[in-house]
């Protein structure tokens, strides 16, 4: 994360000079986060955790700009929060620390120029491309973190920890005074990956119990593992090899947050 922040700041400091007519911005965002996938397949406003990020924007004019940004997004979900009888009985849960690097285009619906008495606010829309790194996990009874790939909870347990995503959304920003602006933003990411919640294919075979990994952690008994892997230990044989998720290929997540932005305004800007 520190390297990403240094790169973003270096880009701004190198690019912003008094002779340029473009405007550059640096900003921060604090978010609520909501996961959608095999856990929580239908409620986009399933806010369970928080995130934050930094970004750099180059505005070509008062309407269009491009943005590079980094966000840390913590995701969490649990079947036990569902009203669906099958999902509630399945009883799966997860947490995931997502590191997102994105590049996107921003479009202001009104002309927006920071530092002027006119054009002080605008709604906007955005879309772009992002790359994310992630690794879902749970905590055992003694509060030890266990990555779900190590627990062998799926028949095909390979988890792709890098994925591409399409971020898109809307927002609103208001120039308070001079270079300072605040705003609100709602954005969704369609992720080309079905492993954010570690539910992508079938229930495991009981022979997949990770004995070598469990030898390092006494709390991971076979009984504990079967209770996590299946909807109850007595149903393990019934569920082995059967579909565990909803078959949809893409997970996703929604962020809703507030922004603070500082604009570097060129003296020669004629917008």
What pLDDT is stored for residue 169 in this prediction? 98
Cβ neighbours, 10 Å, residue 247? 10
> Is the CA virtual torsion 214, 205, 236, 250 positive or negative?
positive
pLDDT higher than threshold 60 for residue 17 = no
Determine what percent of the chain is predicted with pLDDT higher than 90. 75
In contact, 183 and 174? CB cutoff 8 Å: yes
pLDDT higher than threshold 60 for residue 18 = no
CA distances from 267 to 20, 25, 66, 120, 142 (A): 8, 15, 21, 18, 59
What pLDDT is stored for residue 116 in this prediction? 79
SS (H, E, C) 253-266: EEEEEEEEEEEECC
User: CA nearest 49: which of 76, 88, 20, 17?
Assistant: 76
User: CA nearest 51: which of 67, 37, 34?
Assistant: 34
In contact, 259 and 67? CB cutoff 8 Å: no
DSSP string across 88-112:
HHH--EEEEEEEEEEEEEEEESS--
What pLDDT is stored for residue 141 in this prediction? 85
In the chain, what are the domains?
2-136+160-196+251-264 (2.40.160.20)
What's the rounded Cα separation, in Å, for the pair 120 and 117? 6
- Give pLDDT tens digits for 116-168: 778 899 999 999 999 999 999 999 989 999 999 999 999 998 889 999 999 99
pLDDT higher than threshold 80 for residue 21 = no
Q: Band of the pLDDT at 4, cuts 50, 70, 90?
A: low
pLDDT higher than threshold 80 for residue 271 = no
What pLDDT is stored for residue 6 in this prediction? 53
What pLDDT is stored for residue 7 in this prediction? 53
- Give pLDDT tens digits for 78-122: 999 999 998 998 999 999 999 999 999 999 999 998 887 788 999
Q: Against a cut of 0.85, is the pTM above it?
A: yes
Mean residue pLDDT of the chain comes to 90
Report the SS3 class of residue 85.
helix
Ranges assigned E (strand) in 93-226: 93-108, 121-133, 137-139, 145-147, 162-177, 180-191
Cβ neighbours, 10 Å, residue 217? 15
What's the rounded Cα separation, in Å, for the pair 211 and 207? 9
CA distances from 236 to 52, 199, 241 (A): 40, 17, 10
- Give pLDDT tens digits for 25-40: 999 999 999 999 999 9
What's the rounded Cα separation, in Å, for the pair 265 and 223? 63
What's the rounded Cα separation, in Å, for the pair 254 and 36? 8
């Amino acid at each position: 994360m520190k390297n990403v922040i240094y790169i973003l700041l270096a880009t701004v400091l190198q690019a912003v000079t008094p002779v340029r007519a473009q405007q550059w911005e640096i900003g921060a965002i604090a978010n609520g986060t909501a996961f959608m996938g095999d856990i929580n397949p239908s409620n986009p406003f399933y806010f369970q955790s928080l995130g934050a990020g930094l970004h750099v924007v180059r505005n070509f004019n008062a309407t269009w700009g491009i943005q590079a940004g980094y966000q840390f997004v913590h995701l969490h979900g649990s079947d036990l929060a569902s009203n669906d009888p099958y999902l509630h009985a399945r009883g799966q849960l997860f947490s995931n620390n997502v590191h997102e690097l994105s590049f996107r285009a921003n479009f202001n619906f009104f002309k927006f120029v920071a530092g002027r008495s006119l054009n002080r606010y605008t709604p906007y829309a955005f879309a772009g491309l992002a790359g994310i790194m992630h690794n879902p996990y749970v905590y055992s009874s003694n509060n030890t973190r266990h990555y779900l790939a190590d627990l062998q909870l799926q028949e095909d347990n390979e988890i792709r920890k890098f994925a591409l995503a399409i971020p898109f959304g809307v927002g609103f920003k208001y120039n308070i005074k001079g270079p300072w602006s605040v705003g609100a933003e709602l954005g969704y990411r369609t992720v080309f990956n079905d492993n954010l919640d570690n539910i992508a294919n079938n229930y495991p075979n009981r022979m997949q119990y990770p004995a070598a990994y469990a030898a390092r952690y006494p709390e991971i008994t076979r009984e504990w593992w079967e209770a996590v892997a299946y909807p109850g230990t007595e149903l393990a044989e019934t569920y082995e090899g059967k579909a565990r998720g909803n078959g949809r290929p893409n997970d996703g997540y929604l962020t809703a947050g507030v922004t603070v932005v500082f604009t570097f305004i060129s003296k020669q800007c004629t917008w």
